[in-house]
Chain A
Amino acid sequence: MNDIIFINPPYEQIAPGNDHVKHVINRSPSLGLLLLAAQARKDGYSPKIIESDLENLSPQTVANMVLEINPKFVGITLFTVGVFNAAIIAKLIKEKNPNIVIMVGGPHISSMGFETMQKFENFDIAALYEGELILNKLLSSIENNDPLEEVQGIVYRDENNTLRRTPPPPSIKDLDSLPIPAWDLLPNFPKAYLPAIFDYPRAPVATYSASRGCPFKCEFCDTSTFGTKIRYNSSKKVHEIMKHLSLEYGIKHLQFVDDLFVANNAKVLELCELLITDKVDMTWSCTARVDTVKPDTLKKMKEAGCWEISFGLESGSDEMLKNMKKSITAEVSARAVNWTSEAGIRVKGLFMLGYPGETKESVKVTKEFIKSLPLTTMNLSKFTPYPGSQFIKSYTEHLLEKKIGIDLTV
């Protein structure tokens, strides 16, 4: 019987009648929950993972599943876009069984944990920042009736129902010490978990993060979970994980979802050397900044199986890049995109539209820029301010004052 259930709540709000879109969008599972489930299992629990969108489950169905299993603990992961559905699930569970302890964590909680707990009384405990060690300590404290104030990195309700916040824990230095994500807990893995169409050359596909943190200060980005100091898995460990995925699950393509995979060229080269000398039948894609890639590294990456690199290019206008505090120029972007393409690696350019200061002229410049580059994929988002970003910290009042944004703070 499962004593802890991890939930990725429903996020996708596909407009009614457009269900066919589900066939082409991203269907990869939450890596955070896979790691937390592995940690819980290591600590002696019997976890289950519910991927609501991927299994087509409504909040009501998820709550019913939980109530039927009747676990001691529920752990919900939260992007900002999932908060309201998570709150509905928690309410439905608590109405029928108030004894189940409901914990929340994830990027929204790392930045807005306290406010979220204030707003949603059915969440019992919020775990801020990276969760593996917090979960380990939290579960043992609850089981042993130890005071929760000794668990770092949480927000909880004390006996008077007053919210208490504990100091942040030190970040996890040795990423190699973390358990291997519990892919075996996912029903029908890897077949049922493809990324968006055209985002992979071969299937099946898995995701992994070989580092945590990013030192850059792009104004729109939320780095509250993993912070600004980068920590890495050893190349040996990454190579081992790739072998494991290949042998156990037949994975043919791996997506690295690090904040910044190419942060340190020496690290990347070390992994490439391992993948060249001890081959794994796997292609891979990753993230980089245009000012962190070098031609020689790119050639080695290609040799080691790199299929695609995603660059946050954002805009073709230097003025806009400056507004975003991207600390790059369009010229540097073009150079990196050309180097990557010349190395034989596909380039995905991520762009943003409508950042403060955007004008019709800057959009025109971006369009021309996009056409001039050897990109294979282009993703465009309308700018959305997220909690945890420097933008929100600087501009929330301004946004609400001018009524040009909705309140994303809960």
Chain B
Amino acid sequence: MNFVYKAEAFTQEELDYEYKEVITTFYKRVKILLHYQNMALSNPTHIKRLLLFFLGFMKKKLRT
């Protein structure tokens, strides 16, 4: 991650935490998750890429 500037009001950990918070605020909502599920199902390249991603992820999990 390009971490080269830290706003004065935050520690680096706090900023990392807020980063995750803002992302989840948006993406962890039913209507957004449904939207992406529909998108994935409507496009073969999305499905293929997601599968490859999850396969790689599972391999990593099994290794560690």
The answer to whether B22 and A194 touch across the interface, beta carbons within 8 angstroms, is no
Is A44 in contact with chain B by the CB < 8 A criterion?
A: no
**B9:A358 contact, CB within 8 angstroms:** yes
Contact (Cβ within 8 A) A378 B53: no
In whole angstroms, how far apart are the Cα atoms of A20 and B42 in the complex?
Answer: 22
Q: Decide yes or no whether A375 CB sits under 8 A from chain B.
A: yes
Instruction: Evaluate contact between A23 and B22: CB separation under 8 angstroms.
Output: no
Flag if B56 contacts A20 (CB, 8 Å).
Answer: yes
Contact indicator A358/B3 (Cβ below 8 Å) = no
**A354 and B22 in contact (CB under 8 A), knowing A20-B55, A197-B49?**
no
When the two chains form their complex, are residues B10 and A354 in contact, meaning their CB atoms are under 8 A apart? yes
Please determine whether B43 and A353 come into contact, CB atoms closer than 8 angstroms.
Answer: no
Of chain A, the residue at the smallest CB distance from B32 is A376
Among candidates B32, B45, B55, B63, residue contacting A203 with C-beta atoms closer than 8 Å: B45
Contact between chains at B53 and A21 (CB < 8 Å): yes
Q: Tell me, rounded to whole Å, the shortest Cβ–Cβ distance linking A151 to chain B.
A: 33
Closest approach, in angstroms, between the C-beta of B64 and any C-beta of chain A? 8
Using CB atoms, name the residue of chain B closest to A354.
B7
Convert A1-28 into 0s and 1s, putting 1 for each residue whose CB lies closer than 8 angstroms to a CB of B.
0000000000000000111110110000
Q: Which residues of A contact B50 (CB under 8 A)?
A: 23-24, 197
Name the residue of chain A whose CB is nearest to the CB of B36: A198
Nearest-neighbour CB distance to chain A for B54, whole angstroms, equals 8
Q: Note all chain A residues with C-beta closer than 8 A to B46.
A: 197-198
**A327 within 8 A of partner (CB):** no
B25-A370 in contact (CB<8A): yes
Interface residues of B in 20-64 (CB under 8 A from A): 21-23, 25-27, 29, 32, 35-36, 39-40, 42-43, 45-46, 49-50, 52-57, 59-60, 63-64
Q: From residue B52, how far is it (CB to closest CB) to chain A in Å?
A: 4
**19 pairs from A and B in contact (CB 8 Å cutoff):** A19-B56, A23-B49, A23-B53, A24-B50, A194-B45, A198-B46, A201-B39, A201-B43, A356-B8, A357-B7, A359-B7, A366-B22, A370-B22, A371-B26, A384-B5, A385-B5, A404-B5, A404-B6, A405-B5
Given A360-B18, A380-B22, 7 more pairs with CB closer than 8 A: A24-B49, A355-B7, A370-B22, A370-B26, A384-B5, A385-B4, A404-B6
By a beta-carbon cutoff of 8 Å, the part of chain A in contact with chain B is 17-21, 23-24, 81, 194, 197-198, 201-203, 351, 353-360, 363, 366-367, 370-371, 375-376, 378, 380-385, 399, 404-406, 408
